[in-house]
Structure 1
Amino acid sequence: MANITAAMVKALRDKTGAGMMDCKKALVEANGDEEKAVEILRKKGLAKAAKKADRNAAEGRVEIYLTPDYKKGSIVEVNCETDFVAKTDEFVEFTKEIVKTINVNDIDDVNALMGTSFGSGTFEEELKVKIAKIGENIVVRRMATIKAPENGIVNGYIHAGGRVGVLVAAACDKPETCEAIKDTLKDIAMHIAAMKPLYLNPESVPADVIEKEKEIAKEQLLKEGKPEQVIDKIIPGKIKKYFQEVCLTEQEYVKAEKKESVAEALSKAAKAAGGEAKLVDFIRFEVGEGLVKNACNMADEVAKALGE
């Protein structure tokens, strides 16, 4: 039987991130062969990850990655089970590595991500090892990438410790304008994080949504006793107000010193640099949107832990 030294255990821990005792046991089982010990740890990680795969993961973090030239930005939501784990340095760094991998490799879905090289293996292998180490289910829920037009720029913003992430893109008349509006675009990303627009502009609102809003407005006006001939004149104003509430370009810009829309604020920033710019796309992710959190008390958690 090989003599397992502290240095061997430390080297394996540094390589795999597994616990000291797990590393020692794996080295003993592998008779001191580090590569076999790594394989043993990975197999154990797969088993532990499988046990956790059906556990609810509705906490987590949103992270963004922007290329140095601000021509492409990616965003990802990675979920875990508790807010405590979501705030740990290990989970934060893991999420940052994931979104960079997505950006660099132009990955657009989770299945493609699973087979991508990541760390010392594929992402799927590293994910299962991470689940085993952290002790919670981890799920890459969704991702997206925005690429700027030929003369364009992408910027973004992370809010509330990774609870909300935003990417926003603009088209410019020339590269100099793009550089000039970079900070304004980040401020607009902050606006998006706070104001939660549903659509980019009025043109992007689906026709059926507009018709539904017209129906709602008409019903409200009829209840108020407005005559039919007057209602048709009022509804366009109601729809305009709806656009101001849900369309990014039409919303009142939160950082404006005086009343102006987001589109007007961007145009003003571009004009100050002698150019023109307009918004062309945005994405907003918020952790846990649409997910149902499990109600679980401490006693249940302890019982689960003892049962593993």
Structure 2
Amino acid sequence: MAFTAKDVKSLREQTGCGMMDCKKALENSDGDMDKAVEYLREKGLAAAAKKSGRIAAEGVVFAEVSPADKAGVVLEINAETDFVAQNNMFQEFVKQVAQTILKQKPADLDTLLTLKADGSDLTVAEVLHEKVLTIGENIKIRRFARMEGDLITYIHGGGRIGVLVQFETDVAGKDGFEEFGKDIAMQIAAMNPRYLNEQAVPADVVEEEKKVLTVQAMNEGKPQNIAEKMVNGRIRKFFKEICLVDQDFIKDADLTVQKYTQETAKKLGGSIKITQYVRFEKGEGLEKRHDDLAAEVAGMVK
């Protein structure tokens, strides 16, 4: 019995399973829709798909560096509850995905899911399905970043925030560099700078801030020429807040991050430049799950 692309789409809408899984199910059931649904249920894919509609905003951010490969990764994998995020099986899966990224260098999430998971004959997507079924919660690999070079990682709050920083330096092997790198990563975790330096701030962002500051100055009753001078001063403060190298160093407010970097480079007898960084915070921007215990209990006794 033949089937069409419309049948695949219909099966996907009915079960919530992936397009390729639905196509395979129809192939194995000779196009019979009911048998295809049964096939997906037997494989556990339909159950996993059902869970995939549930909110997953907990989980962990994980970061790791492979010194041998001079590569590092930071990634976020979400689950529905913090309890599951502490589960050993979940944590091992996170590490397995991290190793897959480090070794196989996927360009994006879609590619990652098609790769053989590190130490397994299954793809990352197949291992993910297994974990969803075994653990019983929706689990999603949300995002990752991979870098190469001289790298330092920092994880805060047991996986609430993860940072990966890349440096251009000739003192990476010297005593004191790793401590310096951790300080920079902690700065990023704590202060959440939006940009590395002034040059990285888009022109439209600067112009928009200048407009806001100008209106604020005018509302204070300042004439146009005075308002412009005030804006020039306040925009410096704006850069100091949003640019990593301009921020006050959290361990010594008398130093900026740039000054601390320069002093460390001089102390270690070489050069250090912060080239890029990634900061992930667990669940940022995601819809959160809100449990109403009273409503749940009321529903049970109806």
Task: Give TM class, smaller chain.
Answer: 0.7 to 0.9
Tell me which amino acid in the other structure corresponds to 1:158.
Answer: I
1:227-238 equivalences in 2 (<5 Å)? 227-238=223-234
> Is 1:254 matched up with 2:253?
no
Contact 2:59/2:85 (8 A) holds in 1 = yes
Query: What's 1:147 paired with?
Result: 148
Q: Please state whether the residue corresponding to 2:105 is helix, strand or coil.
A: coil
Tell me which amino acid in the other structure corresponds to 2:240.
Answer: Q
TM-score by length of structure 1 reads: 0.78
Contact 1:70/1:155 (8 A) holds in 2 = no
- Structure 1 pair 303–113 and aligned structure 2 pair: CA distance change class (3 A): farther
Work out the CA distance in 2 between the residues paired with 1:302 and 1:156: 44
Deviations 1:187-223 (A, max 9, x none): 1101111111100101000000000110111111111
Tell me which amino acid in the other structure corresponds to 1:267.
Answer: Q
> Is 1:138 matched up with 2:133?
no
Query: What's 1:92 paired with?
Result: 91
Query: What's 2:56 paired with?
Result: 57
- Structure 1 pair 261–184 and aligned structure 2 pair: CA distance change class (3 A): same
Structure 1 gaps, min length 5: 1-39
> Is 1:187 matched up with 2:188?
no
- Structure 1 pair 255–41 and aligned structure 2 pair: CA distance change class (3 A): farther
Query: What's 2:122 paired with?
Result: 121
Query: What's 1:199 paired with?
Result: 195
Residue 80 of structure 1, CA deviation: 0.6
Contact 1:202/1:243 (8 A) holds in 2 = yes
> Is 1:213 matched up with 2:209?
yes
Tell me which amino acid in the other structure corresponds to 2:164.
Answer: L
- Structure 1 pair 303–90 and aligned structure 2 pair: CA distance change class (3 A): farther
Residue 72 of structure 1, CA deviation: 2.0
Work out the CA distance in 2 between the residues paired with 1:109 and 1:96: 18
Work out the CA distance in 2 between the residues paired with 1:232 and 1:48: 61
Q: How many residues align?
A: 259
Counterpart pick for 1:285 among 266, 277, 280? 280
Query: What's 2:264 paired with?
Result: 269
Tell me which amino acid in the other structure corresponds to 1:279.
Answer: I
Tell me which amino acid in the other structure corresponds to 1:164.
Answer: I
TM-score by length of structure 2 reads: 0.79
Deviations 1:220-277 (A, max 9, x none): 1111111211122222211110011010011111122x51111111111111011111
